[in-house]
Amino acid sequence: MAQRNLPMREALRRALLEEMRRDERVFVMGEEVGYWQGTHRVTAGFIDEFGERRVRDTPISEMAIAGVAVGAAMNGLRPVAEMMTINFAFLALDAIVNHAAKIRYMFNGMFTVPLVIRAASGWGNQATATHSHTPEPIFAHFPGLYVACPATPYDAYGMLKTAIRDDNPVLFTESIALYPKPGPVPDEEYTLPVGKADIKREGGDVTLITYARGVEWCLGAAKQLAKEGIECEVVDMRWLRPLDMETALQSFRKTNRAVVVEESLPMYSFGSEIAARLQEEAFDYMDAPVKRVTAMDVPLPYAREIELMALPDVQKVINAVREVL
């Protein structure tokens, strides 16, 4: 099957472009999505093809970007709203949590909210404390919302198309650090199922459970450890909600050891959830305590040296694997 190498931002752009061509109800709105060509260039060229009706530059109004998109979704459109970065989604937290996620339930199914909120997520390049969040687990806390976090261009393309076609509200995060990284994407159209994890590397000694940027660190660690004969299985959860625990559990029952790796903060986190579920659902298979690799429990500083000190990397994953073996 023909395929080509695309950076993740280009895979996302292609997915969104195809969905807008396919379905008149799909439109984009957000800060600088139009004439600026998108802050991360995911919507580059859209304004020329679709015009201002379907490519809506908004004011700097996160509450309304999310809230208006919810209203539009309730009334028959399929908005793809962009938060320039997920840090600004905190301003829209009420619209996302109390409205997007709950309207269907509160009105007992009377309304449907087929909405995607795309948000660039993650740290890097000394963006400092307020602009370095990876709060996907916060959003995944709330029933009513799906949370999608792709790790590769292949997944990004297929998952974004799925998110747009799904009738539930989806928070779709895109790691800023992954935007320029290339990976193979088939020329032929495809979608990926909601809430399905993916084994990114098979191995029998230890299970590394992760998502988004963490996949890169886990694969890097697995590669190095393989030289010593340690085989890691890398489980990319891909969706924090719905959470495909079954795939993680299957791997864990095989390896009996797990390290959970995430870019986000340690307390009340992805790692906490996975570790709790492993001990609840597979205690008898557990040969070592579940280890977590996360960012350090501090706000991120400016200076490069200490910023990197606070963040997960390949070496920290390797260290954690050694602890569980």
Partner 1 sequence: MLLDWYYQMVLIRQFEETCYQLYQEKRITGVYLHLYSGQEAVGVGALAALEPRDHVITAYRDHGIALARGVDANTCMAEMMGRKTGTSGGKGGSMHLASREHNFWGGYAIVGGHIPLATGIALSDNYRGEDNVVLCFVGDGATNNGYFHEGVNMAAIWDLPVVFLIESNGYGMGTETHRASGQPELHKRAIAYGIKDGGRIDGQNVIEVHQALTDAVAYARKNGPVLIEAITYRYRGHGVSDRQYNSRLRDELTEWLENKDPIGILERYLTKKYKNIEPELKKLIDQAQRVVAASVEYAESSPVPTYEDLISNVYV
- Does residue 173 sit in helix, strand or coil? strand
Give residues 188-247 in contact with partner 1 (rule: CB under 8 A).
none
Catalytic residue, from 10, 19, 31, 62: name it.
62
From candidates 11, 55, 66, 275, binder to partner 1 by CB under 8 A: 66
Distance between CA atoms of residues 291 and 297, nearest Å: 16
CB distance 163 to 170 below 8 Å: yes
Q: Which range in 5-13, 74-82, 272-280, 294-302 contacts partner 1 by CB under 8 A?
A: 74-82
47 binds partner 1 (CB under 8 A): no
Min dist. Cβ of residue 3 to partner 1 (A): 32
Q: Which range in 97-105, 183-191, 208-216, 228-236 contacts partner 1 by CB under 8 A?
A: 97-105
From candidates 2, 53, 187, 228, binder to partner 1 by CB under 8 A: 53
Q: Which range in 57-65, 175-183, 249-257, 302-310 contacts partner 1 by CB under 8 A?
A: 57-65
Nearest CA to 150 out of 129, 187, 181, 127 is that of 181
63 binds partner 1 (CB under 8 A): yes
From candidates 17, 64, 127, 314, binder to partner 1 by CB under 8 A: 64
69 binds partner 1 (CB under 8 A): yes
| E strand intervals along 35-190 | 55-57, 78-83, 116-121, 146-148, 170-175, 182-186
Min dist. Cβ of residue 90 to partner 1 (A): 13
Distance between CA atoms of residues 181 and 199, nearest Å: 20
**Exposure of 242 in the CB half-sphere (CA atoms within 13 A):** 11
Distance between CA atoms of residues 261 and 258, nearest Å: 10
Distance between CA atoms of residues 108 and 94, nearest Å: 20
68 binds partner 1 (CB under 8 A): yes
Please indicate whether residue 131 is annotated as part of the active site: yes
- Which helix or strand (DSSP H or E) is residue 64 part of? helix 62-74
| E strand intervals along the chain | 3-7, 26-30, 55-57, 78-83, 116-121, 146-148, 170-175, 182-186, 198-201, 206-210, 232-236, 239-241, 258-261, 291-293
Min dist. Cβ of residue 58 to partner 1 (A): 7
Give residues 158-177 in contact with partner 1 (rule: CB under 8 A).
166-168
The token duo for 63 is 């509450």
- Does residue 81 sit in helix, strand or coil? strand
From candidates 72, 138, 232, 258, binder to partner 1 by CB under 8 A: 72
CB distance 164 to 78 below 8 Å: yes
From candidates 43, 58, 175, 264, binder to partner 1 by CB under 8 A: 58
Min dist. Cβ of residue 272 to partner 1 (A): 22
Give residues 122-151 in contact with partner 1 (rule: CB under 8 A).
143-144, 146
Catalytic residue, from 18, 32, 131, 273: name it.
131
Please indicate whether residue 99 is annotated as part of the active site: no
From candidates 36, 105, 268, 302, binder to partner 1 by CB under 8 A: 105
111 binds partner 1 (CB under 8 A): yes
Cβ neighbour number for residue 183 with a 10 Å cutoff = 18
From candidates 3, 5, 22, 106, binder to partner 1 by CB under 8 A: 106
- Identify the DSSP state of 83: E
CB distance 282 to 247 below 8 Å: no
Using the minimum distance from each CB to partner 1, give the nearer residue, 94 or 246: 94
The residues annotated with a catalytic role in the active site are 62, 131
Which residues contribute to the site for partner 1 (CB under 8 A)?
A: 27, 53, 56, 58-59, 61-64, 66-77, 79, 94-95, 98-99, 103-112, 143-144, 146, 166-168
